[in-house]
Structure 1
């Protein structure tokens, strides 16, 4: 698989070289986007797919430090061959609460995964959205989810979280 890791350094600008160097050094890079009137904050990875064979990750509405720690733990797990289950509750993301992961529809890649698209030269990489519950452990698709958090995690699946759940 060809990536920006294969590009001659002279072909990259300073920010691109820095991005690639971080992936060479750590195996992945975390891009953080601040929230604003257009949408919530989010972070996503680049490098998981090429270095572990596991999907890239995206998570919304959490503090950057927490997301970064979660991504590090999941990267270590991916290096050890552990995959996040899709559409099932898991304790692999957070120590004290469950999470779900769902495949991100390719139609959302341009809006949310720009650096990963650049790194891979297109959309030929998988990505999972990690979804967290409210303070009572209720997920956005469940009855009783705290509406305070309703705009913190957009649904990036192809047909909705409910359709992506597996038993």
Structure 2
């Protein structure tokens, strides 16, 4: 039991260091059988005054790159919702959609601990499948869990 507490303390020390030094921390949960990988930011809302970002279905490197690009591009600005964005990644266009904190409770544990009783918001980044189809288009085929309301 104590070893687990030590690991948690080490993890959260790293989270707080990243938030202090970089402005945010990215948590990435890897893919397993019957489990869609996901990643999310913690600290962007507090430090850059824009919503945190949640991404389902991409690996940690690409998710980390997208979160970094999002933070750099939109910090202290206005984030376009439900609009096709062609310049957040060189690989594909994306959409940013609103998602409620309650719907992310089982995913964003680091943010829940970090913000405790303070307000924060999340957006979900939605990307196309390998053929360029988005989740609301016919022939869409990709393991991406859409938590917010996606309309184009």
**Shared fold per TM-score greater than 0.5:** yes
Rounded Cα–Cα distance in structure 1 between residues aligned with 2:106 and 2:40? 12
Give the match's secondary structure for 2:105. Answer: helix
In the superposition, the TM-score normalised over structure 1's length comes to 0.78
Where structure 2 has 5 or more consecutive residues not aligned to the other structure, the ranges are 1-7
| Greater shift in the superposed pair: 49-58 or 114-123 | 114-123
Residue 82 of structure 1 deviates from its aligned partner by 4.1
Rounded Cα–Cα distance in structure 1 between residues aligned with 2:41 and 2:91? 22
The alignment's C-alpha RMSD in Å is 1.9
User: 1:137 aligns to what?
Assistant: 132
Rounded Cα–Cα distance in structure 1 between residues aligned with 2:145 and 2:80? 20
User: 1:6 aligns to what?
Assistant: none
| Greater shift in the superposed pair: 55-64 or 87-96 | 87-96
Q: In the alignment, is the contact (CA less than 8 A) between 1:33 and 1:41 conserved in 2?
A: yes
Give the match's secondary structure for 2:106. Answer: helix
| Greater shift in the superposed pair: 23-32 or 38-47 | 38-47
Cα 1:92–1:123 shift into 2, 3 Å: farther
User: How many residues end up aligned between the 2 structures?
Assistant: 145
Where structure 1 has 5 or more consecutive residues not aligned to the other structure, the ranges are 1-11
Cα 1:138–1:123 shift into 2, 3 Å: farther
Q: In the alignment, is the contact (CA less than 8 A) between 1:77 and 1:83 conserved in 2?
A: no
Rounded Cα–Cα distance in structure 1 between residues aligned with 2:107 and 2:41? 11
Deviation per residue, 1:62-89 (Å, 9 max, x gap):
221111111111111133x444311111
User: Which residue of the other structure, out of 13, 32, 57, is the alignment partner of 1:36?
Assistant: 32
Rounded Cα–Cα distance in structure 2 between residues aligned with 1:89 and 1:22? 30
Deviation per residue, 1:5-42 (Å, 9 max, x gap):
xxxxxxx9332222111111111100011122452111
Cα 1:15–1:78 shift into 2, 3 Å: same
